[in-house]
Amino acid sequence: MAAGGQRRHGLITGLSGQDGSFLAELLLSKGYRVSGLVRRGGDLGAAAHLRARIDAIEGDLCDAESLAAAVKTAAPDELYHLAAPSFVPESWSQPAATILAIAGATAALLESVRDHSPGSRVFLANTGQMFGEAGVSPQREDTPCRPLNPYASAKLAAHQLVGQLRAHDDLFACSGILYNHESERRPEQFVSRKITRGVAAIKVGLQRELVLGDLNAVRDWSFAGDIMYGAWLMLQQEVPDDYILASGTSHTVGEMAEIAFDHVGLRASDHVCVDPDLVRPPEPTPQIGDPARARERLGWTPTLSFEALVHRMVDHDLAALHRDPSPTSQ
């Protein structure tokens, strides 16, 4: 409970996305009052089922005044800044917009907290991609950063802003360095959902092939709900700090496909096709996170294994296709 016995108040940017919806559910389960930043006229997306239990506040990542107004209106005990462009390839075509929506919005929110709600605790959702060509794997919180794309550069700038305003203005602000995290709420343009949705469609006879890129691409995958629990734990500490939230283990795209197909009694080799146009250059440093600090200081560990995560996503997509067997994009 907040001071005076009132319910704690959490404000979430990115409420409508995968992470925002899981975080909102977590906060509500702990008795919080939850507000979410939404665009004017925008829907609640993955959090639509929570509509009656949350307050929507209009705002736009590229409008600093609207972000300041949201902070002043909510005066939250905890601010979780999750909203940002997240599809990396688009950052190459729109680098200026990417920098504004990520680094600019983070700066505006931190400034607003400092000026209007200095008691708010702030969590920033960051990314392991900021380490880029670090030359070290797994990465730790103090690993040098050499980002390789505009998205990662923008995230690094936001990460540094958190540390700078924490030191200069004594803000309780934390940067969560997040690695790939998935769920059945992940948009279908991401490879994890492309795989599980494709496997489900093949199982029910809606398509015959699953077209992928590099099957040897390595990722550190976790369950989004576990990652959001780690975000909450970061804001419950006495001293703010930055933490890597990751599984600490690596899996390939091919492994994910094999587990998904095996779960429905099929063989990946019978259905997976590689499109050379989808194959990106290999990453010079495998993006694997070392969660030792989070494990030791927060007591955080993932609860859902990689295999269980893939099974969960496939089962969801199978159930969805049985309810609505519309053709997929494959």
In a domain, 233, yes or no: yes
Contact 247, 222 (CB under 8 A): yes
In a domain, 25, yes or no: yes
Give the CATH number of the domain where residue 15 resides.
3.40.50.720
With a cut of 70, say whether residue 328 has pLDDT above it.
no
Q: Are residues 127 and 188 in the same domain?
A: no
Q: Are residues 124 and 19 in the same domain?
A: yes
pLDDT of residue 161: 98
Q: Are residues 160 and 108 in the same domain?
A: yes
Contact 222, 307 (CB under 8 A): no
In a domain, 270, yes or no: yes
With a cut of 80, say whether residue 89 has pLDDT above it.
no
pLDDT of residue 330: 38
pLDDT of residue 329: 42
In a domain, 310, yes or no: yes
How is residue 109 written in tokens? 């929110």
Q: Are residues 149 and 229 in the same domain?
A: yes
pLDDT band at 297; cut points 50, 70, 90: very high
Kindly report the average pLDDT of the chain as a whole number: 94
In a domain, 299, yes or no: no
Question: Higher pLDDT residue, 20 or 328?
Answer: 20
Q: Are residues 209 and 97 in the same domain?
A: no
Among the residue ranges 87-91, 92-96, 251-255, 270-274, the one predicted with the least confidence is 87-91
> In angstroms, rounded to a whole number, what is the distance separating the alpha carbons of residues 143 and 20?
28
In a domain, 330, yes or no: no
> In angstroms, rounded to a whole number, what is the distance separating the alpha carbons of residues 264 and 224?
23
Alpha helices in the chain (DSSP H): 18-29, 64-74, 88-93, 95-99, 105-116, 150-169, 191-203, 224-234, 253-263, 292-293, 306-323
Q: Are residues 62 and 189 in the same domain?
A: no
In a domain, 295, yes or no: no
Q: Flag whether the pTM goes above 0.75.
A: yes
pLDDT band at 215; cut points 50, 70, 90: very high
Q: How many distinct structural domains can be found in the chain?
A: 2
Among residues 189, 193, 194, the alpha carbon closest in space to that of 212 is found at 194
With a cut of 80, say whether residue 278 has pLDDT above it.
yes
Q: Are residues 177 and 237 in the same domain?
A: yes
- Per the structure, the complete domain to which residue 201 belongs is given by 184-220+250-287+304-323
Give the CATH number of the domain where residue 216 resides.
3.90.25.10
Q: Are residues 155 and 29 in the same domain?
A: yes
pLDDT band at 327; cut points 50, 70, 90: low
In a domain, 298, yes or no: no
Q: Are residues 93 and 177 in the same domain?
A: yes
Q: Are residues 94 and 119 in the same domain?
A: yes
pLDDT tens column, 220-270: 999 999 999 999 999 999 999 999 999 999 999 999 999 999 999 999 999
Q: Are residues 35 and 17 in the same domain?
A: yes
Q: Are residues 311 and 162 in the same domain?
A: no
Using a 10 angstrom Cβ sphere, with 0-12 exposed, 13-18 middle and 19 or more buried, the burial of residue 41 is exposed
pLDDT of residue 325: 78
